[in-house]
Structure 1
Amino acid sequence: MFRNTLLLLCVLMLSSSCNVVKRVKNGQHLIINNTILEDSIQVSNERINNIIIQKTNSGMRKFLGFPLKLHIYNLARPNIDSVLNANILSDSAKVKRRIALLSKKQFYKQLKTQRDFNAWLKRTGEAPVIYNEDKTIKTATNLRKYYYTKGWFNNTVNYEVEKDSNKLAKVTYNVHKSKPYILDSLNPIISSPAIDSLYTKFIAASLLKKGEQFDEQNYESERERINTYLRNAGFYYFAQDYIRYEMDTINTNNKVYTDLIIGNRIIRGDDSTTTKPFKKYTIKEVNIYTDDNFENRFNTIKDTTTYKNFNLYSKEKLRFRPKALTDAVFINKGDTYSDLARSRTARYLNDLQMFRYPNIDFVENATDSTLTANIFLEPKNKYALSFDSDINQSNIQSIGFSFSSGLKIRNIFRGAETLEITGIAAIGASKSRSSTETSFFDINEFGGNIRLTIPRLFSPFNTEKITPKYMSPSTAINLSATSQQNIGLDKQSISGVFSYNWYPSNTVTNTLELFNINFVKNLNTDNYFGVYQNSFGRLNAIARAIDYIDDDGTLSDNSLPNEYEPADIFISDVLTGNTSLTSSDDDYVTINNIEERKERLTENNLIFSTSFDYKKDRRKNIFDNDFSVFKWRIELAGNLMSNISNIAGLSKNDDDNYEIFGVAFSQYIKTEIDYIKYIDLGRQNVFAFRSYAGIAIPYGNSNNIPFAESFFAGGPNDNRAWTAYDLGPGSSNNTNEFNEANFKLHLSAEQRFSLFGNFQGAVFVDAGNIWNVLDNVTEEASTLTNLSSLKDIAIGSGIGLRYDFDFFVLRFDVGFKTHDPSQDVGNRWFRDYNFGNATYNIGVNYPF
């Protein structure tokens, strides 16, 4: 089916390719190719190719050479009104017949629909790019200007146009660069003595290096650098416009001699202009107005406090402890004026989420070279309520309702802290209710969460040197509890997190979870085989095969309190040698694996861990498509509990493990590395790449990893040719509902391109798998024994369609199993590569 579809698509594109000039008039030519030759070598640099004014139609050289937007435009009638008039409206008899058939209203509505559809084709499509001599000349001029800015002052640019009888044109731009100009001397001419005295300091890091080729961008970047330096060195009135260059290149043997000119300050009055040297300013006073808003603008100050040289004013009683506000201010009395201190103050005050649009003003004091800093704060409401509700359906419930509510309390302890209290309640009707007497809403879940955010590191130690306040350090304390009934094995969970967050730079985020405690108690372990029906099915099949039960029998009994007690008895009989199976039989191994998995998934979990997260995100904004993101996480669990148990001399259980409150705590080390790279190829064409590796190694008090901390593969944000939890481990062909392991590799590459309007397309390749390593799983197909196990990496490929709603992207991907490690070694490639066996994914936003 897939091959037939592909063939049909190719035929369609080939048949349409001869029609690209459908709307090209006689004497005109459609541009199908632009080439820039730099000293006879073709230029691939996207920045240079973007200089071309008349670019070819979208898709002319990509998406299999099929200009989709152009073909959509060609479907539109250029003169729809004339066509409708000639074919319909001019024939009164035809008009009467149609009105009689449709009614007058429907007839004219049909005409309007045709006009609207024609207009939509034009808007969605793309008009043919017709060769224009003037625009080609302008492109050549712009190319010469570009190469001039890069140091090739004597470059020449000409062009050649190749036109054919099919109304097609190819344009070639020939660039001859000539010898480049090299930077030589840099001579400072600085009018203000205060700035001149700093010249040797700020010029040391100059971007204008003697011996380097001239680049106009370096001159502009140098202006920005000097301006930033001086603005942070106390020159409050300085601006970039005061910096200019004069360059001498006449008879210099391709050398550039540069004068760096920094003028005096210009003061413009109503009818006169004066100049005076720039001078440094220091901060004389810092005033913080803590409750400034429109309503109380005429009220007088009632509360005044001075704290560490900061003056705090309030028109009502001061709501905040002075230290909570002054810790957020980097502008200090006696300091030299600095733009950096101003921006850090604004950012920190915003991060507190206590105020609306903090405003910072500086007022010059006429008697001396000082400034008064006035910080105006408008507090947000102390209390904020939120409510949410949802109706849902899933594979375990026919209908469900959930309700959540939250209360946010700002400045709860007068130190700019935020307390958030949320609760959730959900009820639903189970699809598997076995009794009509059971309440309709037999599924329920209740939970609550309390989170306290403190805008500093809450610690008995002085952490200022490790995490200065410009890094916006904060502490989060989070407590939560949930209880479920008739959901899976039913469970109760309690968790608590004590974490630190700080931002060393604009691109780096650090999170240290000093304590993370998570306790999970399974309440209905007797229902294990009711939840994991695939495992139960395999048990039934084996029991019938060895005549343990009749061919139509089952290892369950509704009359028993534990319906699946016969299944547990069968497992016990097999493992104790009370059946015909022996330990060398494959079925015996299968049952042993089922029992080990059952014990693992039904055991209660106690995890006491410490973790550190590092994230470096170079993305500048949401429109940036040329960036990278690096994430690293390391987690250690159980070490503290193990040391305490050992020191206290606690006894171990039958499995040689320590227990806390009757539960064996988990002990492991887990680390994850994630790297994402976007490359902007221009014209809404982006190549995206992701690599991920994760491993969790049990030791000490554990020989396996808790289910919640293990890895899975597949799903809309992973390997899209498999559904979530369906892939792996390794080459095993498990039919478990949830396949997981403790080691994972994943790679993804995706080419994204614009189709038409807000629709975007993608082609992708995903590769990876999960394996068991260094734990108690012994199945060879599931374990990573050496590098040869990497032959079991699964590869999926596919296509995607996306619609951009601006604030989010709706995504539809189709993944095909390209290399399936669960198949026999000689039959893994392209075995089920068709739409019938494809996996269809719907997601929100991009997968990475």
Structure 2
Amino acid sequence: MSKKHSHIKDIKYLMMLVSLFFVFGCSNTKYLPEGDLLYTGASVEVKDSVIKKKQRKELEKELEDLLRPKPNKQFLGLRPKLWIYNIAGEPKKDKGIRYWLRNKVGEEPVLFSKVDLDYNASVLRNYTENRGYFKTRVSADSTAKNKRATAEYTVIPKKQYIIKSVTFPDDSLKMSKIIGRSSRRSLLKVGRPYDLEVIKSERERIDARLKEKGYYYFNPDYILAQVDSSKGDHEVKIKLVIKADAPPKALTAYKIGKIVVYPNFSISKDSIKYTQKDITQYNDFTIIDTANTFNPRVFDRTIYFKKGDLYNRKDHNLTLNRFVNLGTFNFVKNEFRQSDSLPNTLDSYYYLTLLPKKFIRVEVLGKTNSASYTGTEVNVNWNNRNLFRGAELLTVSVFGGADFQLSGANNGKNIYKLGAETSLTWPRFIVPFKKIAGSSEFVPRTKATLRYEFQNRTQLYALNSFNASFGYLWKENIRKEHQLNVLDVTYVSPNNVTEEYQADIDADPALGKVIEKQLIFGPTYQYTYTNTMQKRKKNTFYFNGEIDLAGNVTGLVTGANIKEGNQKNIFDVPFSQYVKIRADFRHYLKLSKESELASRIIVGAGIPYGNSLSLPTSKQFVVGGTNSIRAFRARSLGPGSYFNVPTVNDYLPDQSGDLKLEFSTEYRAKLFSIVRGALFVDAGNIWLMNEDPNKPGAKFSKDFMKEIAVGAGAGLRFDLSFLILRTDLAFPLRKPYLPENERWVIKDIDFGSGPWRKENLILNIAIGYPF
């Protein structure tokens, strides 16, 4: 009987699904105007026996993308937006739920009467001929059925023409010689197919080259491409010439004359009023600063032009970008005018509108994590731009927050924090690294920071943390970024350690490391490379590498060696000595316009030596949580095969390690509207470098691969444009803390079991992608 009922139930579901398709389909056509049809799309067929099948399919897809209008959007074969538009009806006023549904959520039907078959055919013909398929024939037809219509286009191209030769301007103009010398970089290659878009790109390349040689008034339209297809078998000769009617100033190279800067320009005023005392002459610059706002050296470091230089578009753009990157100006305008007194000379004018000198920013954050903590944080930032007239930025911040665990192993162990931070940033390098950044469009910076934070874990302990750093930040280009802290000092001191936590330490001495006094100092360096901003690339990458050297010189000088009982202190606090390296590599494979495969691998190693047996807790690696292995709660996994058990006072202590290996891969695809979906697999773990008798199985060994945790899951991402809200539901596939032959738990998966779901399903809520 149970099988019979099961079959009946399946048939009911199938009938409901068929009914749903029928309702959606019919309801979308019954609202159509009398005599009109719903346009449901078009297809293009390229008929040619010479073109390879793959090339023919690619051409068909390119041509289909050109067709207009586009039909109503579909989801699983349905048109829900059109259905919502129809059932909403005509609203009586320009507001309310009906208006919102029809005009904001819904989508107006695309009628076949709006489709111009002849116009689309001409678009396809022009495109194919521009690609070198001359004398292409295109025909169009349509098919109508059940109040729906489709369009079909047939394209019959001739053999594609190939470039036989390319000739560059050979007249006596100086610019023609410049063009000729750059011909080896030409985009027009003999043997390649003729393509009008490539010719346009070649004209733009030549224009960009001339802009680097002083030809400010030149533009691509002054280059004419003469194409001769009369000779040869489907071959063309291309000759590039300078148009005879090009204006004389476009054929002239210009030098830079006066350079005038207005640092207090107001876009609301028609003219600039100033007196002689407001004018400062500094090197090649004339600075008209009515409020004496800036030290003139700011402009010397920012403007790349010098008087007498040949105009150069690269220097032009570099200057504008650096003005913007100073972070002091709200509006930057640049004008070049022909000099009244010098021939072939451009005077340069920079009009700069200031941002408010002082401002306050308040941030209120709500947060949750996979350790079941929910909380809030408030940050108040006071900023003072141009503090010492050198475009410096002083920031003073105070912050406070609280995290609560409303249920779970740490219930009642709430976390409160309060602190302040002061930072001063100079838009230049302070000695001895003045010349390290080169001619970058990004302003190099020197930054000094002081920070204090008080953190109180109620019923357990409190920590005072002090940090001071001094370092440099610079970008070589949009892809490469560096951060070097030549001094980075952290001091951590415990406070208010409760008897409850002391009892836990007596049971597990490893917990005492959390409240040890820590003194960490030494240089740190980070390097970041990314080309993920190149959206058209199929493969893009991100890499972030970090090296942290603590106490190395001091340990060497003092001869510190804790293993030999020779631990050294500074101000009665043992200083940390270690080398820590971390690498984060990410790869993004674009599968289609709306889907990609994202993968990440993180490798980290901290090697304590000399004055330390392990890394300080604040510098150790952790795994688990919303941006890590999502099937395990934050900081609850590892090290190695060690099982994290509750303390005598029933809470789960954080777990950390000296080594880390983590891998994730995630398939991402757009589902509909602002909703994107993901399927993912995460794997990894952490380990200790040295044996810890209180954490059996935590030490790194040759069998580390047997201690890898694995989790999987699915998620939704809601792209709200200003932020991405992410929800991931994950569950473990492999638990490294189980006996060695029982670690794979795939066979135990049972979504219908309440106890299994409670123990294994982890909901992660976060802002942004995990990587």
Aligned to 1:120: 101
Aligned to 2:439: 468
2:29 aligned with 1:24: yes
Is the 1:397–1:428 contact (alpha carbons within 8 Å) kept by the matching residues of 2? no
Relative distance call for 1:651 and 1:447 in structure 2 (3 A) is same
Relative distance call for 1:782 and 1:762 in structure 2 (3 A) is farther
SS of 2:331 mapped into structure 1: coil
Give the Cα separation in 2 of the matches to 1:159 and 1:830. 58
- Equivalent of 2:228 in 240, 243, 248: 248
Aligned to 1:691: 600
Give the Cα separation in 2 of the matches to 1:657 and 1:9. 73
- Counterpart residue type for residue 767 of structure 2: V
Is the 1:144–1:157 contact (alpha carbons within 8 Å) kept by the matching residues of 2? yes
Provide, for residues 301-326 of structure 1, a one-character-per-residue CA deviation record: whole Å limited to 9, x for no partner: 3143333322223324x332222221
- Counterpart residue type for residue 498 of structure 1: F
Provide, for residues 714-747 of structure 1, a one-character-per-residue CA deviation record: whole Å limited to 9, x for no partner: 3333344443334455565534443433312121
Aligned to 1:540: none
Aligned to 1:331: 305
Aligned to 1:484: 455
Relative distance call for 1:689 and 1:399 in structure 2 (3 A) is closer
Give the Cα separation in 2 of the matches to 1:58 and 1:411. 51
Aligned to 1:747: 664
Provide, for residues 248-293 of structure 1, a one-character-per-residue CA deviation record: whole Å limited to 9, x for no partner: 11242111111212236755xxxxxxx5661111112222233333
2:256 aligned with 1:283: yes
Aligned to 2:83: 74
2:129 aligned with 1:148: yes
Structure 2: 5+ residue stretches without partners: 1-5, 408-413, 646-651
Is the 1:58–1:67 contact (alpha carbons within 8 Å) kept by the matching residues of 2? no
Residue 806 of structure 1 deviates from its aligned partner by 2.7
Is the 2:85–2:105 contact (alpha carbons within 8 Å) kept by the matching residues of 1? no
Residue 333 of structure 1 deviates from its aligned partner by 0.7
Give the Cα separation in 2 of the matches to 1:663 and 1:120. 66
2:766 aligned with 1:843: yes
Relative distance call for 1:207 and 1:652 in structure 2 (3 A) is same
- Equivalent of 1:43 in 42, 52, 57: 57
Aligned to 2:644: 734
Aligned to 2:548: 636
Residue 635 of structure 1 deviates from its aligned partner by 1.1
Give the alignment of 1:304-315 within 5 angstroms: 304-315=279-290
2:676 aligned with 1:771: no
Give the Cα separation in 2 of the matches to 1:127 and 1:142. 25
Relative distance call for 1:12 and 1:673 in structure 2 (3 A) is farther
Aligned to 1:543: none
Give the alignment of 1:41-440 within 5 angstroms: 43=57, 47=62, 49-53=64-68, 58-59=73-74, 66-68=76-78, 70-71=79-80, 73-74=82-83, 77=86, 80=89, 116-117=97-98, 120=101, 124-126=105-107, 139=120, 141-156=122-137, 178-189=158-169, 193-263=173-243, 266=246, 278-293=251-266, 297-316=272-291, 318-366=292-340, 367-387=342-362, 404-424=379-399
Relative distance call for 1:43 and 1:705 in structure 2 (3 A) is farther
Which segment drifts farther, 599-608 or 769-778? Answer: 769-778
Give the Cα separation in 2 of the matches to 1:75 and 1:392. 35
Aligned to 1:587: none
Is the 1:457–1:475 contact (alpha carbons within 8 Å) kept by the matching residues of 2? yes
Give the Cα separation in 1 of the matches to 2:447 and 2:502. 46
Provide, for residues 393-450 of structure 1, a one-character-per-residue CA deviation record: whole Å limited to 9, x for no partner: 9999999997654332333233222222223356899999xxxxxxxxx986442212
Aligned to 1:547: none
Residue 155 of structure 1 deviates from its aligned partner by 4.8
SS of 1:468 mapped into structure 2: coil
Relative distance call for 1:776 and 1:600 in structure 2 (3 A) is farther
- Equivalent of 2:614 in 704, 708, 724: 704
SS of 1:712 mapped into structure 2: coil
Give the Cα separation in 2 of the matches to 1:377 and 1:75. 50
Residue 825 of structure 1 deviates from its aligned partner by 3.8
SS of 1:718 mapped into structure 2: coil
2:586 aligned with 1:675: yes
SS of 2:329 mapped into structure 1: coil
Aligned to 2:3: none
SS of 1:358 mapped into structure 2: strand
Provide, for residues 598-619 of structure 1, a one-character-per-residue CA deviation record: whole Å limited to 9, x for no partner: 1332323332243332333335
Structure 1-normalised TM-score? 0.74
Give the Cα separation in 2 of the matches to 1:197 and 1:51. 40
SS of 2:424 mapped into structure 1: strand
Relative distance call for 1:614 and 1:213 in structure 2 (3 A) is farther
- Counterpart residue type for residue 150 of structure 1: R
Give the alignment of 1:542-691 within 5 angstroms: 562-563=499-500, 571=507, 594-595=508-509, 597-620=510-533, 628-638=540-550, 641-649=551-559, 652=562, 656-661=566-571, 662-677=573-588, 679=590, 681-682=592-593, 685-691=594-600
Give the Cα separation in 2 of the matches to 1:651 and 1:19. 79
The count of residues paired between Structure 1 and Structure 2 equals 726
Give the Cα separation in 2 of the matches to 1:280 and 1:312. 26
Relative distance call for 1:521 and 1:431 in structure 2 (3 A) is farther
Provide, for residues 3-51 of structure 1, a one-character-per-residue CA deviation record: whole Å limited to 9, x for no partner: 9999998875454334453133699577488575675557368655523
- Root-mean-square deviation (CA, aligned residues, Å) is 4.4
Structure 2-normalised TM-score? 0.81
Give the Cα separation in 1 of the matches to 2:372 and 2:671. 40
Give the Cα separation in 1 of the matches to 2:167 and 2:770. 53
Is the 1:409–1:419 contact (alpha carbons within 8 Å) kept by the matching residues of 2? yes
SS of 1:43 mapped into structure 2: helix
2:477 aligned with 1:505: yes
Structure 1: 5+ residue stretches without partners: 61-65, 82-108, 268-274, 433-441, 528-561, 572-593
Is the 1:283–1:372 contact (alpha carbons within 8 Å) kept by the matching residues of 2? yes
- Counterpart residue type for residue 262 of structure 1: I
Is the 1:725–1:740 contact (alpha carbons within 8 Å) kept by the matching residues of 2? yes
2:420 aligned with 1:448: yes
- Counterpart residue type for residue 690 of structure 1: S
- Counterpart residue type for residue 755 of structure 1: F
Is the 2:227–2:239 contact (alpha carbons within 8 Å) kept by the matching residues of 1? yes
Residue 232 of structure 1 deviates from its aligned partner by 1.7
Is the 2:525–2:548 contact (alpha carbons within 8 Å) kept by the matching residues of 1? no
Is the 2:371–2:633 contact (alpha carbons within 8 Å) kept by the matching residues of 1? no
Relative distance call for 1:829 and 1:477 in structure 2 (3 A) is farther
Residue 168 of structure 1 deviates from its aligned partner by 7.4
- Counterpart residue type for residue 438 of structure 2: T
- Counterpart residue type for residue 625 of structure 2: G
Is the 1:265–1:276 contact (alpha carbons within 8 Å) kept by the matching residues of 2? no
Give the Cα separation in 1 of the matches to 2:526 and 2:666. 25
SS of 1:16 mapped into structure 2: helix
Residue 459 of structure 1 deviates from its aligned partner by 1.6
Relative distance call for 1:234 and 1:515 in structure 2 (3 A) is same
Give the Cα separation in 1 of the matches to 2:505 and 2:655. 22
